[in-house]
Amino acid sequence: MKEIDFKDISRTKNWRVALYGKPGVGKTTAIKYLKGKTLHLVFDDSGKVLGGLGLDGKSLIMDQEHPSDEISKMLVRAQKEVKNYDNLVLDNISAFEKNWFIEEGRKSKNGISNEIQNYNTWTNYFIRMINAFYGLDYNILITAWEAQTPITTDSGQTFEQYGPQIRDSVRNTFMGLTDVVGRMVIKPNNGERGVILEGNDGIFAKNRLDARQGCKIEDLFKWGDTDVQTPRLSNEASESSKTKAK
């Protein structure tokens, strides 16, 4: 058991942030706004967009045919490198989940289909994995694709809510463990890239590191900076993406 005085608690030390959005909105490129040296764990082919940006760090690219073995090796590497890097990026957990189920399907009787036990195994496997990474002494950024999931409000209305594309069995636990969950969007009128940090029935978002409801992507990691202006991105994007109650 660890004991710490309230006065010694730092809200922004070792933050955990998840960014989700459509492919191509700039989730991986957001890495260029991190301060310090970054260890980038790449679960798909998105890492190439960082070429030529002059970043300080290294990318470890997963062999997508063997995600289980590869993620174990990446965890060990991250544990060994913890004193050499400031930031750890897991890019992209939606792709990792997809490849994990493909790998398990190859082990089935027909070599393709997943079996019932795979879905139960994934729940425990993913939560143990994310807890292992979250226990490391890094600032951690995780990216994911976006998906719409049906939710029912207290009043009985049903909405399609945007959130990270990951199975229902682990989504709530993952988002609960994460300090900030933001939906990354591009404003259609000017192409500005920003992050929604306050959610509603149509969008899942949360921010327990400061009071911002939304921000430009270049300002995302400036926690508690009073000079950062909060645009109207959150309200505009929320209204345009929120679906009607069924």
Q: What does the pLDDT look like over 115-132, one tens digit per residue?
A: 889 999 999 999 999 999
Q: Over the stretch 48-97, which tens digit does the pLDDT of each residue have?
A: 888 888 899 999 999 999 999 999 999 999 999 999 999 999 999 999 99
CB within 8 Å of 112: residues ≥ 6 apart: 105, 106
Cβ neighbour number for residue 189 with a 10 Å cutoff: 7
CB contact set of 139 (below 8 Å; sequence gap of 6+)? 14, 15, 16, 17, 34, 36, 86, 87, 88
pTM (two decimals): 0.86
- Minimal CA–CA distance to 27: which of 141, 133, 162? 141
235 CB-near residues (< 8 Å, 6+ apart): none
Q: Where are the beta strands (DSSP E) in 32-174?
A: 38-42, 57-61, 87-91, 139-152, 158-164
Query: In the beta sheet, which residues pair with residue 93?
Result: none
Instruction: Please name which of 75, 81, 76, 89 lies closest in space to residue 38, comparing C-alpha atoms.
Output: 89
